[in-house]
Amino acid sequence: MPPAVLARLEAEFDVVRGETVPEGVEGLFITPRSKMTAAAIAALPASVKIIATFSVGYDHIDVPAANRRGIIVTNTPDVLTDATADIALLLLLAASRRAREGEAMVREGTWVGWNPMQLIGWQITGRRLGIVGMGRIGQALAHRARACGMQIHYYNRTRLAESEEAGAVYHASLDSLLGVSDYLSLHAPSTAETNKLLSAARIAQLPKGAIVVNTARGNLVDDDALIAALQSGHLAAAGLDVFTGEPDLDARYRSLPNVFPLPHLGSATIETRTAMGMRALDNLAAVLNGKPALHPVQV
């Protein structure tokens, strides 16, 4: 926990740590590693009023089960936009320039010197970036990619205002976007509708040699389909910060040289994690003082 968050937590609240929740506890301060299933929520004492998660995502919480018990669930939106967009751009560049293979060559001592065709990658300038989900993070990535000379295309449930598009090309369907995406970056939430959104059929619609980036949630991708496309060469590479079942990701990703993987670092800056923690504590303080939650999760 960031030091400033921990200091405030201990100064403002009576903190009880442990795997079980004793009677009298009114609020839970959790991270995505805490799986709040329907059974776990049913076992909570009647005193619990709020579950405040140290995250924007809340797929580790059975929100309907909490709501049925009158427990408010809150998250930490709007504070990790820049950090996550930075990681998305890092993944895009690293996958494009074969950074994983290059680092391994240097670390393992197999680099024998400069060669005209050694680890040839792909330049992003002038290439088409397709963004799935043009919310705050999608727009922040578009801003960064535009500065690199990329052409921005996007698919969103609703079209942005012209001033927000900043020249980006809107696609009314995901299928339309896929065909023009040299690079595809996923920024949609994890829902029943987006589960395995990037299926084998949709991957096949991407141009040969396309690169996929995912900083959203692992389950947006059909792992078997993505791995098959990376192995066959239909996709040139992928940059992945999230995985289904993480940290127990599909072992095949570890052995693919054209996958640049990160361990869910999207929000991992001290500035962002501190802001996230403070936002979670703001929600706790509000509810425990009889005020409305600042960022209640609505499902």
CATH number of the structural domain spanning residue 157: 3.40.50.720
Q: Domain check: are 235 and 285 in the same one?
A: no
- 93 domain-assigned: yes
- 295 domain-assigned: no
The model carries a pTM of: 0.92
What string of H, E and C letters represents the secondary structure of the chain? CCHHHHHHHHHHCCCCCCCCCCCCCCEEEECCCCCECHHHHHCCCCCCCEEEECCCCCCCECHHHHHHCCCEEECCCCCCHHHHHHHHHHHHHHHHCCHHHHHHHHHCCCCCCCCCCCCCCCCCCCCEEEEECCCHHHHHHHHHHHHCCCEEEEECCCCCCHHHHCCCEEECCHHHHHCCCCEEEECCCCCCCCCCCECHHHHHHCCCCEEEEECCCHHHECHHHHHHHHHHCCEEEEEECCCCCCCCCCCHHHHCCCEEECCCCCCCCHHHHHHHHHHHHHHHHHHHCCCCCCCECCC
pLDDT digits (tens, 9 = 90+) for 171-227: 999 999 999 999 999 999 988 999 999 999 999 999 999 999 999 999 999 999 999
Q: Domain check: are 146 and 167 in the same one?
A: yes
Q: Domain check: are 152 and 129 in the same one?
A: yes
Which is catalytic among the residues 98, 153, 171, 264?
Answer: 264
- 188 domain-assigned: yes
- 186 domain-assigned: yes
pLDDT digits (tens, 9 = 90+) for 40-88: 999 999 999 999 999 998 989 999 999 999 999 999 999 999 999 999 9
- 296 domain-assigned: no
Residue 217 among the catalytic residues: yes
Which is catalytic among the residues 8, 165, 246, 252?
Answer: 246
Q: Domain check: are 15 and 141 in the same one?
A: no
Q: Which domain holds residue 48?
A: 3-75+269-289
Q: Give the percent of the chain with pLDDT over 70.
A: 100
Which is catalytic among the residues 100, 217, 279, 295?
Answer: 217
Residue 246 among the catalytic residues: yes
The more confidently predicted of residues 129 and 191 is 129
Residue 193 among the catalytic residues: no
Q: What does each C-alpha distance from 135 to 5, 88, 167, 189, 268 come to in angstroms?
A: 27, 14, 16, 10, 20
Q: Domain check: are 151 and 174 in the same one?
A: yes
- 298 domain-assigned: no
Is the peptide bond between 247 and the residue preceding it cis, with omega within 30 degrees of 0? yes
Query: Number of folded domains in the chain?
Result: 2
pLDDT digits (tens, 9 = 90+) for 206-219: 999 999 999 999 99
For the cut 90, the answer to whether the pLDDT of residue 19 exceeds it is no
